[in-house]
Amino acid sequence: MLTKEERLKYSGLFQQAFDKGKSRYSKHFRLTFTKTRDSYKDKLPFVGFTISKNYSKSAVKRNRIKRQLREIYRLYRQDQAQAEKLQDIGLLVFSLKKSTTAAIEFNYQELKKEIESLLKA
């Protein structure tokens, strides 16, 4: 589980990440990030996850993907070498591409591989 200090909670911060951040893309996901401020240099980034209703009207399906994404990120940041790379990032937002439809069922292993490739790039 992400700590309170790591969660991206406010819509203004999400908007700031989307407006001023840089993006990386994979087949189904967009990773948006900004550089950290000096006062937050030793901390992990604020992290948020967004899944649009365009993907599925069912909150159950959207929340399942978000839970899987949070777990993948949690395991990724526990590795010391990976955590050091994350310290240069201020805001980190994972979002599902708009072209992705509910017909696509995500396998956890495929999802993990796709997200880790985004984080390593």
Give the model's pLDDT for residue 46: 87
Residue 5 lies in a domain: no
Higher pLDDT, 68 or 37: 68
Q: What letter represents residue 62's amino acid?
A: R
- Residue 72 reports pLDDT greater than 70: yes
Assign residue 59 the CATH number of its domain.
3.30.230.10
Contacts 24+ apart (CB under 8 A), 8-12: 8/46, 8/47, 8/48, 8/91, 8/92, 8/93, 9/48
Tell me what the mean pLDDT of segment 74-100 comes to.
81
Residue 91 lies in a domain: yes
Residue 23: pLDDT band (50, 70, 90) is very high
For 5-22, how does the pLDDT look when each residue is reduced to its tens digit (9 = 90+)? 888 888 888 888 889 889
Q: How far apart are CA 57 and CA 102, in angstroms?
A: 9
Residue 74 lies in a domain: yes
Residue 4 lies in a domain: no
Residue 94 lies in a domain: yes
- Residue 42 reports pLDDT greater than 70: no
Tell me what the mean pLDDT of segment 90-115 comes to.
80
Higher pLDDT, 48 or 39: 48
Domain residue limits at 104: 11-120
Domain count, the chain: 1
